């Protein structure tokens, strides 16, 4: 799991980096909003922890842009204590809100809860193992590639929603990928061969969606 932490307090960044890395997370650090977005656009990030009051671009604006581009989880840090500030953060797209000062262990627990680390996601007879990064069908290992795993994870996080090829490229391959959009079709076809043809629906001229199958 990749975590991006943005705060203009260097000591805060150092402390949180130690705590999260001890738990096995890959951590990216940013000192302001612009740097946070640069990291977001060049790395796959599962969770962003953003300080609200940063120089230049605020954490709230960073949150809104990230949310408009991906399904990333965002936890907002702030010294603000008014209830309306919490409401502003949550309505602005943040998934969680933690007031300063806080205990790092508490923040870590909130982050784990936000990422829903049950370690697996199930859909029909398909199970996605988030720890081993494997796909199982009826508990049989499908020996999926890294791309197939990330593609299915993306579909599961956006179940029932149509995703364009461009959106899939950004979410799975990364914003810095400049290959052909048709590569998505190839990987979707291979994923279908493994999990079953009926789960991923094609929307001609638009993209794909993962749909529940009702007998």
Domain range list for the chain: 2-114, 120-210
Residue 37's φ and ψ, nearest 5 degrees, are -70, -35
2-114 and 120-210 share one fold:
no
Task: Report the pLDDT averaged over residues 96-113.
Answer: 86
Q: Could you list the beta-strand ranges (E) of 79-160.
A: 96-99, 120-123, 126-129, 134-137, 140-141
Read off the pLDDT band of 1 (50, 70, 90).
Answer: confident
Q: What is the pLDDT of residues 139-167, one digit of tens each?
A: 899 999 999 999 998 898 788 889 999 88
Return the minimum-mean-pLDDT range out of 72-81, 88-97, 154-163: 88-97
* 117 vs 37: which has the higher pLDDT: 37
135 vs 1: CA distance, rounded Å = 17
Percent of the chain topping pLDDT 90 = 41
| Residue 180 per-residue DSSP state | -
CATH class belonging to 120-210? mainly alpha
CB-neighbour burial class of residue 67 (10 A; exposed 0-12, middle 13-18, buried 19+):
middle
Q: What is the pLDDT of residues 182-198, one digit of tens each?
A: 899 999 999 999 999 99
Question: Collapsing DSSP states into helix, strand and coil, what is residue 73?
Answer: strand
Q: Is the pLDDT of residue 215 over 50?
A: no
Rounded to the nearest angstrom, the gap between the alpha carbon of residue 207 and the centroid of all alpha carbons in its chain is 20
Of the options 3.30.70.60, 3.40.50.2300, 3.50.50.60, 3.30.365.10, the CATH number for the domain spanning 2-114: 3.40.50.2300
CA angle, 209 then 214 then 215, to 5°: 140
Return the minimum-mean-pLDDT range out of 13-17, 37-41, 88-92, 150-154: 88-92
Q: Could you list the beta-strand ranges (E) of 44-177.
A: 47-51, 73-78, 96-99, 120-123, 126-129, 134-137, 140-141, 163-164
């Amino acid at each position: 799991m990749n975590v991006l932490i943005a705060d203009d307090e260097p000591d805060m960044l150092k402390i949180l980096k130690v705590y999260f890395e001890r738990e096995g997370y890959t951590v990216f650090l940013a000192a302001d909003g612009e740097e946070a977005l640069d990291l977001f656009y060049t790395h796959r990030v599962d969770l962003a922890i953003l300080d609200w009051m940063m120089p230049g671009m605020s954490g709230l604006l960073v949150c809104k842009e990230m949310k408009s581009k991906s399904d990333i989880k965002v936890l907002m840090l702030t010294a603000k204590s008014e209830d309306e500030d919490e409401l502003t953060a949550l309505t602005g797209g943040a998934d969680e809100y933690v007031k300063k000062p806080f205990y790092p262990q508490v923040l870590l627990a909130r982050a784990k809860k936000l990422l829903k680390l049950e370690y697996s996601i199930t859909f029909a007879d398909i199970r996605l193992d988030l720890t081993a990064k494997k796909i199982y069908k009826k508990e049989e290992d499908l020996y999926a590639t890294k791309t197939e795993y990330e593609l299915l994870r993306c579909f599961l996080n956006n179940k029932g929603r149509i995703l364009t090829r461009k959106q899939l490229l950004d979410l799975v391959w990364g914003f810095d990928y400049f290959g052909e959009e048709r590569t998505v079709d190839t990987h979707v076809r291979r994923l279908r061969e493994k999990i079953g043809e009926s789960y991923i629906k094609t929307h001609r001229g638009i993209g794909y969606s993962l749909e529940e199958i009702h007998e």
